[in-house]
Structure 1
Amino acid sequence: MGQGNVVSWSALMTGYLHIGFSLEVIRLLKDMVLGDAISPNEYVFAIALASCSDSGRVEEGEQCHCYVLKSGLVFHQYVRNALLHSKFFSFQEVMWIWNLVPGNDIFAYNSVLSGVLENGYLKEGLEVLRRMVSYRVKWDIVTYVNVFGLCAYLKDLRLGLKVHGKMLMSDVECDAYVSSAMINMYGKCGEALNARRVFDGLQSQNVVLWTAIIAAYFQNGCFEEALNLFSKMKIDDATPNEFTFAVILNASTGLSAIRYGHLLHACIEKSGFKDYVTVGNALINMYAKGGDIQAATQQQKYFQT
């Protein structure tokens, strides 16, 4: 091409972003503005902001933010959603962007709710949820995952039951992510039996769901039941991951079952999860609380080398 236009530049940047070349997207934006003197539109900046967020380029992200503020592109939904979803703004700045113009779509709400959970602003999360209900915004799968997570952090069983009821009356498909979020919510709210009902009502269970239900029992002090579920998980040919092993190690610690812990340690060695930090911390905790200080020290030295 003799000279690209905004459409061709946008297509090229999108291609680089999709294959993970985030830094190349930023370079292309500079070439587009300085080399070809083409003014970016809202779609280009949505791509650029996403690349800055993915690559952790805070300075370039702030420069893009200044440009869209001066040009008025911040009022476009694509740009606002990209700003809300970015990782280089403080939560207060994200809330300012969110409140800048009314009429946010579900992606904007999901981005803000996700920020709420990551930063622990639970009061603000309830306000976001109130607005969603007030404006009758249609929820999607991501929304339910975020809201169940908010209920779990708040340990608000009453709100969690309302959200569960709303989901049952909606046309949203209950996939593994939503189901695990529900199980986690009931577990954090002290309702292990409700978590088990959700788990047993599923047609198929994967490692995420097995880990969630085991964690629900562990969080409520039902250590023996957590160990029994781990045995059932292996019978069902569900392969545990590092998070499963971390939870079940802590459950065996709660029962002071050091011999079972030794068996788990051997299983972890064979499965190739011994180098994961979450598993290592659980092993150190298990040996230390089980009175085997030498084994705990060896595990600590292993991760320090």
Structure 2
Amino acid sequence: MMEGRNQSGVYEFILLGLSDQPEHQTLLFSLFLLMYLITGLGNLLIILAIKSSSCLHNPMYFFLSNLSLVDICFTSTTVPKMLANHISGNKAIPYSGCLIQVFFFIWCAGTDSILLAAMAYDRYVAICDPLHYSMIMTPKVCVLLILASWLWACAVALIHTSLLTRLLFCDHNEIPHFFCDLSPLLKLACSDTYINDLMVNTVGVLTIIIPFIGILISYTQIFVTVLKIPSIVGKWKAFSTCASHLTVVSLFYGTIIGVYFCPTSTHTAQQDTAAAVMYTVVTPMLNPFIYSLRNKDMKGALRKLLIRKPGFSLRHPV
């Protein structure tokens, strides 16, 4: 059980949010509520479309449906509390609630990272070794990769959350952020954070940097293989299957690595918050559009799904 306070007696933290200007509150609430609804609906439609369409029952879309599920959980970890704070005007979050938010945030971020690496490996096998694709990317292998991503990320989240409970937070309990993030919490601590920082730079490297390097290696091999394809059409088709994934990878890793693995002296709290908005809210919202707009099979599955649902109609009048 998580205690309601830490050793120093702090019962709650104050989330300062994105702005302290009253005239900005309504705009921010409306904007983030809209983005949250779009994220939830968009990713839910992706999951339902993949489940309902037999032509999408393959490893690539299996990973994508899990990524959509993680994205829903990702935004649900941070945005609802921020919206509730805007409505109530109370920016406080209990100490135990803060730890819970940190745990689920790290869990979702870690799972997202490893899933993106698994998707890159899937594309590598499909393009670089197509004859053995069905033997390598078997249903058992895909399930094991999904389970590994969820379980490893859960273990990492437990490590970081447990280490946070050992820290002392004295009189400073204001977090210059819209959710309880690990980095600003460590800056607030008035006890030694050496072990916490060490874990960020070791376990964090295994969860974020190593998958990112794996993605770079996979796409280097893909790029070399595609260049050997004699047909321009063939090259374009191969690259187009990777474009969506590369876009998501750039958005996710570009911001999260900048926040956690670059020297803190190179960026401000405002820059960290802006980057956090990108990988916790904007990227999960854009993923359904990125993966569906350039994909004929996905667009076809979504069209069939919406036509079957009451209240939706994409049919043209006769």
TM-score range, shorter chain: under 0.3
TM-score (norm 1): 0.23
TM-score (norm 2): 0.22
Of structures 1 and 2, the one with the larger relative CO (CA 8 A, separation 6+) is: 2
